Amino acid sequence: MAFSSETRHLRNYVGGRFVDGGRPFDVVDPATGKVHAIAYEANRPIVDAAVAAARRAVEGEWGRMTLARRRSMLVAVAEGIEKRFDDFLAAEIADTGKPHGLAHHLDIPRGAANFRVFADVIANLPAESFEMDTPDGGRALNYAVRRPLGVVGVISPWNLPLLLMTWKVAPALACGNAVVVKPSEETPSTTTLLGEVMSAVGMPDGVFNVIHGFGPDSAGEFLTSHPGVRAITFTGETRTGAAIMRAAAPTVKALSFELGGKNPAVVFADADLDAAVAGLSRAVFLNTGQICLAPERIYVERPVFDAFVRGMKARAEALKPGLPEEAGVDFGPLISDEHRQKVLGYYRMAVEDGAQVVTGGGIPALSGEAAGGFFVEPTLWTGLAHDARVCREELFGPCAAIIPFDSEEEAVRMANDTEYGLAASIWTTNLSRGHRVAAAMEVGICWVNSWFLRDLRTAFGGAKLSGVGREGGVHSVNFYSEPTNICIRL
């Protein structure tokens, strides 16, 4: 599969080779609305074969490999991605329509970085150890060794396809597991390419498997209900997480979920306003708002409210929508027409609920190929009640409601008044306030005077309906392996 002009065929990757079979389905380029690839939906026998291949890998060469060798395989995968950087870039851009610069700076480099980081993390783990008295006056030593879980199912979304998939695959492999990955049906290309890289670097057969398809009654459900899979790691919508939990319950699998959000940002009057406008306009509009960490509610202290809104409006209106490779384009389409209809429905709902539309609210006028793409305008609202539906439900679009507040207490209360709890972003130059408000946020990740600044060793995940568990650094290791305590009478 060279990522050039012709329609690509994305096959399932099982036991170290691409296999025939499965019902074909179209993969659409959201920037043009045109089909650019055909993927093959894995049926139950293909999923069974993938799980069996993964099992054999864990029990075979991969399971017996030294840590040093396993780590060097992870580094080889990172290098393999870098070697085919342009192919990954073209594949990610074709699936998502995102601007070239964004995929170039974020998605593909992070795909490689995820493998390097976990090759390091796994080499630097302390072993737990406790010495104890025995009832007869002797001594015993306890220590724990980590063992892989076995076969791990990875289910990933479409917004940052390579980044979010490798964020799970890399630590799972670092811990000695084998994986069966089901990428989003909207964005199957980079995961398929990773299969080619795995073969090229000599990864043992079955360590990495790819099954394409959908959720219910398709590859996703076959995987999450499979008795041979010991754990499911999932990123996506909260209600999909609930469905996966049900499917996984009869075989009591370990679960790690990174789910939806309705993230708040809080801008205090003492903030560096230019920095807040620059930081939050990036946060709201990057990847066309399709980042789980993006704020969709911005609370602004009243004295700086008007100036903040003016600044955000100017930034929104300076964005240039268009085809990914077009010069100056920094704003891509939404992932699908279906998602666009959902976002536009919320745009209408905001107006019905009394919003003043500061900017946007519709579809940009584009000509040429981009006219067939799934674009919407970057959109900002004021005048919405804090409990309006647009302020409560995740839109996953390039938009935010901007709401004034008068006291720190009120800001904290409104920010936390949500069933989600993924991320928050606080803007202030008051050091004590920054620490205080950050610690009061009911979220998994809180940034102060920044957003989406990532140290991959830190805990990442969501509170409340935004997730189950934490990944990142040792937190990933704690999910993808389990300790066996060994107690030795001395």
Q: In angstroms, what is the minimal distance from the CB of 420 to ligand NAD? A: 9
Residue 157 near ligand NAD by CB under 6 A: yes
Q: Cα separations (Å) of 121 from 435, 472, 473? A: 28, 10, 6
x/- letters, 108..147, toward ligand NAD (CB under 6 A): ----------------------------------------
Residue 459, classified by CB atoms within 10 Å of its CB into exposed (0-12), middle (13-18) or buried (19+), is middle
Residue 224 near ligand NAD by CB under 6 A: yes
Residue 162 near ligand 2VS by CB under 6 A: no
Residue 471 near ligand NAD by CB under 6 A: no
Q: In angstroms, what is the minimal distance from the CB of 278 to ligand NAD? A: 23
Q: For ligand NAD, which is the closer residue by CB, 422 or 448?
A: 422
Question: 215 contacts which partner out of ligand NAD, ligand 2VS, none, CB within 5 to 8 A by kind?
Answer: ligand NAD
Residue 260 near ligand NAD by CB under 6 A: yes
Distance CA 253, CA 230 (A): 5
Q: Which one among 37, 47, 119, 160 touches ligand 2VS, defined by CB under 6 A?
A: 160
In whole angstroms, how large is the CA radius of gyration of the chain?
A: 23
Q: In angstroms, what is the minimal distance from the CB of 264 to ligand 2VS? A: 16
Residue 289, classified by CB atoms within 10 Å of its CB into exposed (0-12), middle (13-18) or buried (19+), is buried
Question: 244 contacts which partner out of ligand 2VS, ligand NAD, none, CB within 5 to 8 A by kind?
Answer: ligand NAD
DSSP 460: B
Question: Which of positions 356-395 make contact with ligand NAD (CB under 6 A)?
Answer: 394
Q: For ligand 2VS, which is the closer residue by CB, 143 or 452?
A: 452
Residue 418, classified by CB atoms within 10 Å of its CB into exposed (0-12), middle (13-18) or buried (19+), is buried
SS3 (DSSP) at 23: strand
> Bridge-partner residues for 233, per DSSP?
154, 256
- Quickly list H helices, 97-188: 100-102, 108-121, 161-174
Distance CA 377, CA 91 (A): 25
Question: Which of positions 261-320 make contact with ligand NAD (CB under 6 A)?
Answer: 261, 292
Q: Which one among 37, 42, 106, 164 touches ligand 2VS, defined by CB under 6 A?
A: 164
Residue 245 near ligand NAD by CB under 6 A: no
x/- letters, 441..480, toward ligand 2VS (CB under 6 A): -------------x-----x--------------------
- Quickly list H helices, 330-472: 337-352, 389-392, 408-416, 431-440
x/- letters, 387..426, toward ligand 2VS (CB under 6 A): ----------------------------------------
CA angle 276, 97, 308 (to 5 degrees): 15
Q: Which one among 321, 462, 469, 472 touches ligand NAD, defined by CB under 6 A?
A: 462
Close Cβ partners of 35 (under 8 Å, ≥ 6 residues apart):
7, 26, 27, 28, 29
Nearest to residue 427, comparing CAs of 261, 278, 260, 262? 278
Residue 436, classified by CB atoms within 10 Å of its CB into exposed (0-12), middle (13-18) or buried (19+), is middle
Question: Which of positions 167-206 make contact with ligand 2VS (CB under 6 A)?
Answer: 167
For residue 328, the number of C-alpha atoms closer than 13 Å in the C-beta half-sphere is 3
Residue 291 near ligand 2VS by CB under 6 A: yes
Question: 454 contacts which partner out of ligand 2VS, ligand NAD, none, CB within 5 to 8 A by kind?
Answer: ligand 2VS
Q: Which one among 18, 143, 214, 452 touches ligand NAD, defined by CB under 6 A?
A: 214
Residue nearest to ligand NAD (CB): 215
Q: In the sheet where 129-133 sits, what is the strand order? A: 129-133, 139-148, 481-489
Residue 286 near ligand 2VS by CB under 6 A: no
Distance CA 172, CA 190 (A): 18
Residue 159 near ligand NAD by CB under 6 A: yes
Catalytic residue among 41, 186, 221, 258: 258
Select from 20-28, 285-293, 323-331, 380-388 the region that touches ligand 2VS (CB under 6 A).
285-293
Residue 82, classified by CB atoms within 10 Å of its CB into exposed (0-12), middle (13-18) or buried (19+), is middle
* Cα torsion through 5, 6, 7, 12, rounded to 10: -90
Does the active-site annotation cover 128?
A: no
Does the active-site annotation cover 258?
A: yes
Q: For ligand 2VS, which is the closer residue by CB, 281 or 290?
A: 290
For residue 367, the tally of other CB atoms under 10 A from its CB is 7
Q: What is the enclosing helix (H) or strand (E) of 181?
A: strand 178-182
Q: Which one among 175, 244, 344, 388 touches ligand NAD, defined by CB under 6 A?
A: 244
Q: Which residues bind ligand 2VS (CB under 6 A)?
A: 159-160, 164, 167, 291-293, 454, 460
List, by residue number, the catalytic residues: 258, 292
Q: Which residues bind ligand NAD (CB under 6 A)?
A: 155-159, 164, 182, 184-185, 214-216, 220-221, 224, 235-237, 240, 243-244, 258-261, 292, 394, 396, 422, 462, 466-467
